[in-house]
Chains A and B, each alone.
Chain A
Amino acid sequence: MKRKIMSAREALAHIKPGASIMIGGFLQSGSPDHLIRALVRHGAGGLCIISSDSGNEHTAGPELMGSGLVKKIINSYIGCNPVTVELIRQGRIESDVYPMGTFVEKIRAGGCGLGAVITGVGIDTVYAEGKPTIELSGKTYLIEMPLKADVALVHGAVADERGNLALRGTAHNYTLWMAMAAEHVVAEVDEIVPVGALDPETVDVPGILVDALVKAGDAA
């Protein structure tokens, strides 16, 4: 079986300029900061970042957004990252905004093989302008398209050597869905245990989705 444990540098080495990168986490909860810093060091630019909020002061989000490597952010609410707020205000990066429930469903649809998300959220607002709609059972819905990415960077509490991830508390958020929707998935974890040490009841992300495992805090 292919060895998944590696350094952050190795895990991100193949990322090309212009890549689309999903980053897990809701603010600081489940934020893969070790990997985000390694992404900045890797230096590929023109990136499209897919992140609910681009982090806050407790994460490596401001460092990434301020690095000059990001061209666009697909997000739901970035008000907690002042670097992102200012970049958008100055028109220096593009921003695609979605209602949070739509944001996660687009990613889920991307990873789960669905053709579209049909949701009434945002109807009758400026957000809906220009978007395709469909009427079903007398109600109008927006048609939102699935979202996939080249890379996902996620955080887990514990992984086994197969890449099965156990998540904790509010760190679940987008992690599983991003792991499904991205081609190359890198997980940073606080602890790596042998296969068999993780109770299947506690596994939140199947290891088949995870391509690289990085121990958080290890030298890059």
Chain B
Amino acid sequence: MNKKELIASHIARLLQDGEVVNLGIGIPTLVPRFVPGGVDILLHSDNGILGIGPEPEPDGRTRDLIDAGGEYCTALPGAVFLDSATDFGLIRGGHLDVAVLGALEVDQYGGIASWDIPGVRSHGIGGSMDLCAGAKRVIVGMTHCNRDGASKVRRRCRLPLTAKSAVKTIVTDLCVMQVEAPRLVVTCLMPGVTREMVTMATEADIEFRI
């Protein structure tokens, strides 16, 4: 299992039967393959579909059935198609149980920065701010440190915020943390990871409760 799969598999364990879940692009899209049998989640996508199913056969592809990343998908029995205003009404109106997002940084107050690296990468906002504002709980799945080895788990986010205090749970390749502002509580260490490793890799104030 690689790092991303490890993170996705831990996120999958946090999802409960019957929950309506939005998966962001990147690591979150790996989550469905790790959801245990008997736990049925309903997948929602920002482009107006509730009940996304797995990838279709090549001849089953149609432009009328894509996910929020533009990948071809299927609609499971019981699926619903929605226009964008209704779809974002579901999101903003608090009707989604879980939003799983990637992030550039998170902080000990539940802040998340995921949309902009000023001067480097400005692709836009998409559904991320609505999801953070509306979902009943927000789970972040990301690597603990960036490519330069800097901690992505900060006291305060330095990059532009997606939301100031939206995140409940953070799952990284090192550990699982719950946000109990103004600190993060480590509740689980990944295999082979020690408390010292987590402490060294984290800028935020943390407490261990394993």
Question: A residues bordering B, Cβ < 8 Å?
Answer: 26-31, 52-53, 56, 58, 75-80, 85, 88-89, 95, 97-102, 104-105, 108, 119-127, 157, 168-177, 204
Interface: B4 (CB within 8 A) = no
| Interface contact A174-B84, CB-CB below 8 Å | yes
Q: Provide the residues of chain A in CB contact with B88, threshold 8 Å.
A: 100-101, 104-105
A77 to B81, CA, bound (A): 21
Q: Provide the residues of chain A in CB contact with B47, threshold 8 Å.
A: 26-27, 29, 170, 173
| Interface contact B124-A29, CB-CB below 8 Å | no
A95 to B116, CA, bound (A): 14
Q: Which of A76, A104, A108, A169 contacts B124 (CB 8 A)?
A: A76
| Interface contact B125-A28, CB-CB below 8 Å | no
Q: Which of B62, B63, B125, B164 contacts A100 (CB 8 A)?
A: B125
* Given the contacts A28-B63, A172-B84, A127 and B129 also touching, CB distance less than 8 Å: yes
A119 to B130, CA, bound (A): 10
A126 to B118, CA, bound (A): 11
Q: Which of A80, A101, A176 has the most CB of B within 10 A?
A: A101
* Given the contacts A125-B163, A126-B160, A173 and B83 also touching, CB distance less than 8 Å: yes
| Interface contact B64-A168, CB-CB below 8 Å | yes
Number of A-B contacts (CB under 8 A): 137
Q: Which of B157-195 contact A (CB under 8 A)?
A: 160-164
| Interface contact A121-B130, CB-CB below 8 Å | yes
Q: Which of A27, A120, A170, A173 has the most CB of B within 10 A?
A: A170
Nearest residue in A to B75 (C-beta to C-beta)? A169
Min Cβ gap B167→A in Å is 14
Interface: B92 (CB within 8 A) = yes
Min Cβ gap A180→B in Å is 10
| Interface contact B124-A176, CB-CB below 8 Å | no
For the complex with contacts A56-B70, A100-B84, 12 further pairs of A-B residues with Cβ separation under 8 Å are A27-B70, A58-B70, A97-B122, A99-B129, A104-B88, A105-B85, A108-B85, A122-B125, A122-B129, A125-B161, A170-B49, A170-B81
Nearest residue in A to B47 (C-beta to C-beta)? A26
Q: Provide the residues of chain B in CB contact with A170, threshold 8 Å.
A: 45, 47-49, 64-66, 81
